Amino acid sequence: MENAKTYAVPLGRLLMSSVFIWAGWEKLFKFGPTGTAGYFASKHIPIPDVAAWVVIVIELIGGLMILVGFQTRWVALVRAGHRPGGLIKTPPPRRSAALCPRHATAGDRRL
Quote the CA–CA distance of 5 and 68 in Å, as a whole number: 17
In a domain, 9, yes or no: yes
What pLDDT does residue 37 have?
Answer: 93
Q: Would you say residue 96 lies in a domain?
A: no
The conformational region for residue 45 under phi > 0 = left, psi -120 to 50 = alpha, else beta, is beta
Q: Is residue 35 part of a domain?
A: yes
pLDDT per residue over 2-23, tens digit each? 777 788 888 988 998 999 899 9
Q: What is the DSSP letter of 47?
A: S
Query: What total number of domains does the chain contain?
Result: 1
Query: Residues 53-95: pLDDT tens digits?
Result: 999 999 999 999 999 989 888 888 887 776 666 666 665 555 4
Instruction: List, for residues 95-111, the tens digit of each pLDDT value.
Output: 444 444 444 444 444 43
What is the pTM for the complete model shown?
Answer: 0.70
Q: CA-CA distances (angstroms) from residue 101 to 38, 106, 108?
A: 27, 9, 12
Sorted by sequence, the CB contacts under 8 Å of residue 82 that are 6+ apart come out as 55, 58
